[in-house]
Amino acid sequence: MKLTVSTWNINSVRLRIDQVKRFLKERRPDVLCLQETKCPNDKFPLKELQSFGYPFVVHMGQKGYNGVAILSRYPFSDTSVMEMCGRSDARHITVTLSPQAKAASGLVIHNFYVPAGGDIPDQNLNEKFRHKLQFMDELRSWGGRQKPTATPAILVGDLNVAPLEHDVWSHKQLLDVVSHTPVETAALEELRQEAGWVDAMRLLKPEPEKIYSWWSYRSPDWEAANKGRRLDHIWVSDNMKGALRSIDVSRETRGWERPSDHVPVTAVLEF
């Protein structure tokens, strides 16, 4: 049995509902995890998303900011959310696939949206950057306390950190830019390794291959400039890395009409 899991920071699910529909029609993942849905729960387009062939949907949102959701072809036996940093700001949701997922039954999928961190990489001057570092510290504590990789699990999301040298267009020029500063990259790699997560993209496509999943809206010609960063990730528990068959970035979606600045990342696993 093959299971396809995609993650995508959609940057407003209502504004880009047509892009979601197109992606689901063209790629047909079994599970799609969304971040930055920017939608309160009572305004979430649940029925429309279900009509695309994904009857099982969970979501957690708020007006104008953040928000996460998971769409699935398979039902869930359990769902949960965590508050991070003492805030109910809709940055996490977890599901467990039910026995109807057959060989994938019991697989736990964690969907996170890590704070971007603002523009100034100094936690003493920038509360948003301090919040980001605190969030990653709590994520590290959760990994050590809950042992999420002890059973088959996947962690996906916009983690807002490009951890490796070839995850950005220029390692040297971005060392003091939020998302690639040494304090962020070290924190992300430490929490990943300590909890036993495997970076699926770099397992199958190791450095020095350049890989990006985000291109700024500020670039007048993002495709020609190609100044991207790999901010969107799929991690698997060590006991799942043998199931990985492929992983890719849907770069073409960045060129769609009214696109998100992020593009989907999709992994195929075989059980």
Our answer to whether residue 59 is catalytic in this structure is no
Cα distances (Å, whole numbers) of residue 198 to 48, 193, 202, 203, 238? 34, 7, 8, 7, 6
Counted domains in the chain: 1
> For all residues of the chain together, what is the average pLDDT?
97
Q: In CATH, what number is assigned to the domain containing residue 111? A: 3.60.10.10
The DSSP bridge partners found for residue 248 are 266
In whole angstroms, what is the distance from residue 53 CA to residue 20 CA?
Answer: 12
- pLDDT over 70 for what percent of the chain? 100
What pTM did the predictor assign? 0.98
- Per-residue pLDDT band for 144 (boundaries 50, 70, 90) equals very high
Our answer to whether residue 217 is catalytic in this structure is no
Q: Model confidence over 63-79: pLDDT tens digits?
A: 999 999 999 999 999 99
Query: Which one is catalytic: 30, 89, 158, 167?
Result: 158
Annotated binding-site residue? 9: yes
Annotated binding-site residue? 262: yes
Our answer to whether residue 65 is catalytic in this structure is no
239's CB contacts (< 8 A; 6+ apart) are 149, 151, 152
Q: Model confidence over 156-199: pLDDT tens digits?
A: 999 999 999 999 999 999 999 999 999 999 999 999 999 999 99
- Are 197 and 155 in contact, with CB atoms under 8 Å apart? yes
pLDDT at 220: 86
Annotated binding-site residue? 158: yes
The DSSP bridge partners found for residue 108 are 96, 153
Mean pLDDT of 14-34: 98
82 is in which domain, residue-wise? 2-270
Q: Give the amino acid at 10.
A: I
Query: Which one is catalytic: 54, 89, 92, 113?
Result: 113
Q: Model confidence over 46-60: pLDDT tens digits?
A: 999 999 999 999 999
Q: Model confidence over 86-116: pLDDT tens digits?
A: 999 999 999 999 999 999 999 999 999 999 9
251's CB contacts (< 8 A; 6+ apart) are 212, 263
Long-range contacts of 167-171 (CB under 8 A, 24+ apart): 167/211, 167/212, 167/229, 167/230, 168/212, 168/228, 168/229, 168/230, 169/210, 169/212, 169/226, 169/227, 169/228, 169/229, 170/227
